[in-house]
Amino acid sequence: MEYIGDIKGRAGAAVPDPVFALLFAVLKSAPNPAQVRDGALLLDIDGFISEQPAAVDPIATLISGQAPIGEYRQRDIIRALKLAENSDEVKAVVFDLDGFLGAGRVNLSEIGDAIDRVKKAGKPVYSYATAYSDDGYQIAAHATQIWMDPLGGVVVTGPGGTRPYYKGLLEKLGIKANVYRVGTYKSAVEPFIRSDQSPESKDALKAVYDEIWGEWRRDVAAARPAAQLDGLIADPAGSIEAVGGDLAQLAISNKLVDKLGDRIAFGTFLSETVGTDTAKTLGGYAATPMDALLAANSPDDSGNPIAVITAAGTIVDGEAGPGTAAGDTVSDLIYSALENDDVKAIVLRVDSPGGSVLASEKIRRALERAKEKQLPVVVSMGNLAASGGYWISTPADAIFAEPATITGSIGIFGVIPSGKQALANIGVTADGIKTTPLAGEPDILNGFSPDFDRFIQSTIEKGYNDFLTRVAKARGKTVEQVDAVGQGRIWAGGTGHQLGLVDRLGGIDDALAEAAKRAKLSDGDWYPAYYEPQPDFLTAILGGAAPRSHVGAKDLFARAAWEQQQQWIRIQSDVQLLTGISGAQVNCLECAALAGTPALAPLAKPDSGWLRFFTKWAG
């Protein structure tokens, strides 16, 4: 409180009590290095794991009354595991996955590799959850011992599922989705013009699903060879019926988990392994939270910096905070790195399905400036580097991807709705005078003119040719060769490597090593310097004190309900795609189901009152 009093004295005015309370909450919520103690490293993952967590807007949280779901930065988890690997204080690692909601396949694979290194250092790793689904089990499979609540279970479903198609609804409402696109496989707009998925889209997605699903099975099988998954995957209904519906027994008999027990039993076991907590609570054990361990161990910053800039989330125009790849923000971070003469190379970490053409090009041009300055540029693709995510990768001297990375989707589209029939259904017509073929266009009241359609389609085709040309120049291919693997089709990283869209398979560490090599830096003579978008002042001050939603124990039925909620959010995003996009898009929205992170947020500020108006009158 003395520090707060000092602020008050300098300001020369009394600080209102609510501000004292908020500042106290911020200070109280800050990681405390003093919490580091002998015992276990506790990784309590209550929410999602992502490449770059979105900033919490405290004001929006207060207004909505809904606390945001937690997000955990993947590289923080990796660093904590590396610290645990070499720390004398950390005797074991504990993953509490009861509230874990998912992550991208690449993030999961890299965390699994880090867990394996901890075990190789001679330290056990334990996992606990009420129930495990695909993502949680991929982490747990790497543990020394897997615990599960006796009322829980393990259910593996694999990727895939359905999505809504709106053609019938739009026809009923009298709304036309005017679509302009290039790419046989550019299926982002299909829900607005079809009642089902096109054969081309099915073929492309199935190929990617099969490749990613194969990577999941290989990872789990290598991490836990004893697990008997084939029968459960092939005949889940028969498998559960054979044990009388007992999911816990099914998991034990198929060696998917090692122990059944509630939290108290799990904690008691750990207390005998790593020591009891200072309060000696029932089921308590000695543990250090991840944030405290990270706060007590600053990253090494000796040597020459290699700038690491993350482009995570949808690529949008303008500026934005963490978790969104805003064109101005990301390009400014690149220029900031260029202004630092100490920076010897740039690594762009991409985890994005794409978005705005203009914003993507702004980021690409910033990387081109780095090339002009003779700085090595290396791209590390995370879970997603598709469409605009691939566009911004083209200047790289080398592109790294993981086998489970989703990339490609070289295509472009635009969509604008019009409501001529909707107005006619309620007795409204539109008429007027045009001085030129484009006057009053796009005419959302009376329908678009053929001239406007031809005009926009021509610009979209030019945009696709620009995309092909950039990729062809960057990859040393002809435009025709790129077109053959383009057309909006998505590829998994392994196939992308075979097709020449990716140079090498590897993670962020491999990309950093390549950047150091190209900058002629020796081992130990460099470190990664992360350039991150900073939240605004109010968010920075109050964001840490904003409440977070605690998912809590999730059995299989609760997880199913959660997935249902996500489907509604995706429908909201689809509506926003139709009504909120400005400008041409290089976006892979069909990749969202593979991202492993929360359903896409609206792409623009909602302004669909006219759509609600038509919906009301169309019944």
State how far the Cα of 204 lies from the Cα of 207, in Å rounded to an integer.
5
582 is annotated as an active-site residue: no
State how far the Cα of 344 lies from the Cα of 378, in Å rounded to an integer.
12
Per-residue CA distances from 421 to 75, 286, 559 (Å): 51, 67, 41
> Quick one: CA dihedral 435, 441, 446, 451, positive or negative?
positive
State how far the Cα of 603 lies from the Cα of 607, in Å rounded to an integer.
11
State how far the Cα of 332 lies from the Cα of 348, in Å rounded to an integer.
13
Among residues 189, 199, 255, 183, the alpha carbon closest in space to that of 226 is found at: 255
Per-residue CA distances from 518 to 27, 378, 511 (Å): 43, 9, 11
DSSP, residue by residue, 494-530: HHHHHTTS-SEE--HHHHHHHHHHHTT--TTSEEEEE
Per-residue CA distances from 594 to 517, 567, 591, 600 (Å): 33, 14, 5, 12
Among residues 146, 90, 94, 97, the alpha carbon closest in space to that of 122 is found at: 90
What 8-state DSSP symbol labels residue 99? T
Residue 340 near residue 553, CB atoms below 8 Å: no
Tokens of 488: 């909006």
Q: Which amino acid appears at position 214 of this protein?
A: G
DSSP, residue by residue, 385-446: EETHHHHTTTT-SEEEE-TT-EEE---EEEEEEE-HHHHHHTT-------SSTTTT-S-TTT
Label the pairing between strands 398-401 and 354-356.
Answer: unpaired
Tokens of 132: 């495990």
State how far the Cα of 439 lies from the Cα of 433, in Å rounded to an integer.
9
Task: Give CA 544 to chain center in angstroms.
Answer: 21
Return the bridge partners of 44, or none: 96
Q: What count of Cα atoms within 13 Å lies in the side-chain half-sphere of residue 115? A: 27
Tokens of 73: 């930065």
Among residues 325, 374, 385, the alpha carbon closest in space to that of 595 is found at: 385
Look-up: residue for tokens 């290699």?
A: 306
Tokens of 409: 């989707």
Write the secondary structure of 354-380 as one string of H (helix), E (strand) and C (coil).
Answer: EEEHHHHHHHHHHHHHHHHCCCCEEEE
Active-site residue, from 387, 409, 418, 573:
387
Residue 385 near residue 352, CB atoms below 8 Å: yes
Active-site residue, from 186, 362, 420, 477:
186
473 is annotated as an active-site residue: no
Active site positions, annotated: 186, 387
